[in-house]
Structure 1
Amino acid sequence: MSDLKPTIPDPFKPEDFKLSEPPPAILYKYMVADRVADVLEGGMVRFTHLLDTNDSFEVRKTFRRFAGPKFLDMMKAAALAAMTPNYIDQQIQRHLAAAGIDLPTALVREILKQQHGMSIEEFMRSQMGGFIDMFASGLDSIKSPEDFLTEIGSILMCFSLSERYDIAAMWAHYGGNHTGVVVAFDTEHPWFKSDKDPAESKLQRIKYLDEQNDELFDDLQAAFSSKATDWAYEREWRMNCAMKQIEKTVDLGADRIHLRSFPPEAVTSVIVGSKASDDTVERVRYVLKRHYPHAKLQRTTPQRMTGSFALEDI
């Protein structure tokens, strides 16, 4: 039984979880005009540790315990599914070979059935529940949810994007009060895809909720990829990475900026804000011609009577 590997996610490897549905075709990055040089000319974007984002409660206790009813059910179902007759026969043969005993598998099965009064499958299933309960009872003692989430927050780094380019609060907070720009990214570009499975996206949708779940597996997205409802207006998606994927770190003393390059082909357009200066517009135009000739230059204009933004090519 030592090499039985239930096919369930490892709660200590959240990067293995598929936490959300596929992303929209285009996602948007809001930024102030000064970052045109860093991002568009430099070709690099910032990844921020979860503990260092502008949300004071970015890392918070989203679940009370690791092992609850859902976790136990998953463990038991996975273990039972793995214990096929073929698997059990292989284990019998392996142990017999290790002991230097030459007996038919069917004979060993019959001996065990007489000894326990049930088939080996029935016996193993009767023991499995107790073993899993014992394992689960000690799971929270290995690492508390608080310690685990703090550790994840200090390790994982994120690049944040929004579902929309026309969120007035985002332009106000992140786009220099409409003087900045929004960069549109093609989420189908390989840069956003999983290294293990090119069909899977690395992007994860942020879920917004204030409550705390009972156990980790009540809602994995809430556990690892959520924020309080105060932030729901951001319509955020993220791509996470670890420090080993960072290409450049700028040391500012009290702060460190971690950067990764992105492929120019992933950019579909750059949208300038309605209050962007002529210098900003011309600088973006120049950068697009030089580095992103395929990308559009666009401008948003608030339509005050309809509460919407008009988008036009310029």
Structure 2
Amino acid sequence: MPDKKPTIPDMFKPEDFTLSEPPPPVLYKYMVADRVKDVLDGGMVRFTHLLDTNDSFEVRKTFRQFAGPRFMEIMKSAALAKMTPDYIEQQIQKKLAEAGLNIPSTLVRELLQQKHGMSIEEFMRSQMGSLIEMFSGGLNLAKSPEEFLTEIGSILLCFSLSERYDIPAMWAHYGGNHTGFVVAFDTDHAWFESDKNPAESKLQKIKYLDDQNDELFDDLQAAFSSKATDWAYEREWRINCAMKQVEKTINLGANKIHLRSFPPETVTSVIVGAKASNETVERIRDVLKRKYRHARLQRTIPQRMTGTFVLKDI
């Protein structure tokens, strides 16, 4: 089976990039106990600007230049695919019509053959390399990777989830030291579907690396959906969005909280931490009875001799 040809994403809609394999069937969001009212009862989750996440180096220089050999290869391949005999014939006819010339295209081809010693197809291909190289140089001069990535970081927001519910460091850092809870989301739900293609997911897998790539198209996932390897334990996936997709903003002065609603059907279960209080458990149980009757309520039980958790329905 032939390799899938690389495609160039729409730079103006980075929230729609497709940069990774399909997500696992369930992803998890760790939360502190205070979020029961806001998230479960309120039915909204927070989307955070990339520049405002808890990673000081969330937005960093992941590639040295926009356009290099890889970019030129992609552009050349795209141009060659476009340059079919029918397309070239259409362009000749178009130019003749614009010039008001009523002559056969075969005559034009013969004249070009005499002038350049090659067919029009060969001539266009011979000029392609220099044109793409000139365009690539202009692209690198137009904006630096630092400027571009900072701009993306200021306009793009994300909602982060994890592949696993049983990561001790995640419970410690995001789950109130096991007193909070985890919401399990069904990634097959339409809420996660791409707006452009329902067969694809909006979820993007985070790649973990510390090095820079030479150019943007060496690894698009590394360029736009990556973090340093120190964060690899999070096993993170994300939905990205633009401000126009935010439904509610809470203004806290210097800080702003941007919220979007999610359908109750996306939630498959709520998992409370091993140290969650009876009050937290009962608050969650009440919300599930009212708004998420299909969802299970479970608790993590640490298995200290094996360093694992098991889930118990409660």
Contact 1:8 1:78 in 2 (8 A): no
In structure 1, C-alpha distance between the alignment counterparts of 2:19 and 2:7, rounded to whole Å = 17
Report the TM-score, using the length of structure 1 for normalisation.
0.96
Root-mean-square deviation (CA, aligned residues, Å) is: 1.3
Partner SS, residue 259 of structure 1: strand
In structure 2, C-alpha distance between the alignment counterparts of 1:150 and 1:245, rounded to whole Å = 20
Q: Find out whether 1:215 has 2:215 as its counterpart.
A: yes
Aligned partner of 2:232 in structure 1 is 232
Report the TM-score, using the length of structure 2 for normalisation.
0.96
Contact 2:15 2:156 in 1 (8 A): no
Partner SS, residue 183 of structure 1: strand
Aligned partner of 1:3 in structure 2 is none
Query: How big is the shift at 1:76?
Result: 1.1
Query: How big is the shift at 1:145?
Result: 0.1
Q: Between Structure 1 and Structure 2, how many residues are aligned? A: 309
- For residues 214-293 of structure 1, the aligned pairs below 5 Å read 214-293=214-293
Aligned partner of 1:69 in structure 2 is 69
Query: How big is the shift at 1:115?
Result: 1.8
Aligned partner of 1:308 in structure 2 is 308
Q: Which moved more, 1:270-279 or 1:75-84?
A: 75-84
Query: How big is the shift at 1:64?
Result: 0.5
Which ranges in structure 2 are unaligned for 5 or more consecutive residues?
Answer: 1-5
1:142-200 CA-to-partner distances (Å, cap 9, x unmatched) read 11000000000001000000000000000000000000000000001010011111001
- The letter for the 1-side match of 2:277 is S
In structure 2, C-alpha distance between the alignment counterparts of 1:257 and 1:232, rounded to whole Å = 26
Query: How big is the shift at 1:230?
Result: 0.6
In structure 1, C-alpha distance between the alignment counterparts of 2:106 and 2:7, rounded to whole Å = 28
Partner SS, residue 101 of structure 1: coil
In structure 2, C-alpha distance between the alignment counterparts of 1:83 and 1:249, rounded to whole Å = 48
**Structure 1 residues 70 and 185, CA, compared in 2 at 3 Å: closer, same or farther?**
same
Q: Which moved more, 1:90-99 or 1:202-211?
A: 90-99
Q: Find out whether 1:102 has 2:102 as its counterpart.
A: yes
In structure 1, C-alpha distance between the alignment counterparts of 2:268 and 2:212, rounded to whole Å = 38
**Structure 1 residues 148 and 304, CA, compared in 2 at 3 Å: closer, same or farther?**
same
Partner SS, residue 88 of structure 2: helix
Partner SS, residue 158 of structure 2: strand
Query: How big is the shift at 1:13?
Result: 4.8
Query: How big is the shift at 1:16?
Result: 4.6
What percent of counterpart residues are identical?
A: 80
Partner SS, residue 169 of structure 1: helix
- The letter for the 2-side match of 1:44 is M
- The letter for the 1-side match of 2:153 is G
Query: How big is the shift at 1:11?
Result: 5.1
Query: How big is the shift at 1:102?
Result: 1.3
In structure 2, C-alpha distance between the alignment counterparts of 1:252 and 1:281, rounded to whole Å = 29
Aligned partner of 2:3 in structure 1 is none
Partner SS, residue 138 of structure 1: helix
- The letter for the 2-side match of 1:241 is C
